[in-house]
Amino acid sequence: MKGNVAPKTVPQRIVFTALGVLLMATTMATYNKYLVYGEFSVNLFRQVGIAFLQKAPVAFLLQFFVVQKFAGKQAAKYPTDNKILYQCIRTGFTVLVMCPIMCFYSNIINMIQFHWTVWELLEAWISKMPINWIFAFGVQIWVLGPVNRFLFSKIFAKELAKA
């Protein structure tokens, strides 16, 4: 296993992606709802649950079928033996794609819910995307990515030990 905790099979990819989406979608929903409410409250966590249910299925499909492959191909263009550097590059490409798309999708939900105009949608998307990207990249590199790989390595310990 020696530090390489990447999924090799389709079931492993499904679990790895599901864990990543669970962690990231919950964290980003909490972050964005906290920016709105300004405090942790029962209402905030209720809204986080609703946001998670609205966004997690889309995030999973996008991540599993599109972004993992794209990020892997892009990261391969920067060959390195340094696993940490490689993971940062791959994560950077993942966040680079997922953040604007999921931020836009979130604002489309808001547009429908709050009857926004297209201009309000674009204004919210353009203003929220940079702060979401900065937060998403940092939290993915320093917290959620390592937690995801740790959990994944525990779930598939026997299979990974054989590889």
The whole-number pLDDT of residue 4 equals 63
The whole-number pLDDT of residue 161 equals 85
Spans in the chain with pLDDT lower than 50: 1
Q: pTM value?
A: 0.91
Tell me how far CA of residue 11 lies from CA of 8, 57, 93, 143, in angstroms: 9, 17, 23, 24
The whole-number pLDDT of residue 3 equals 56
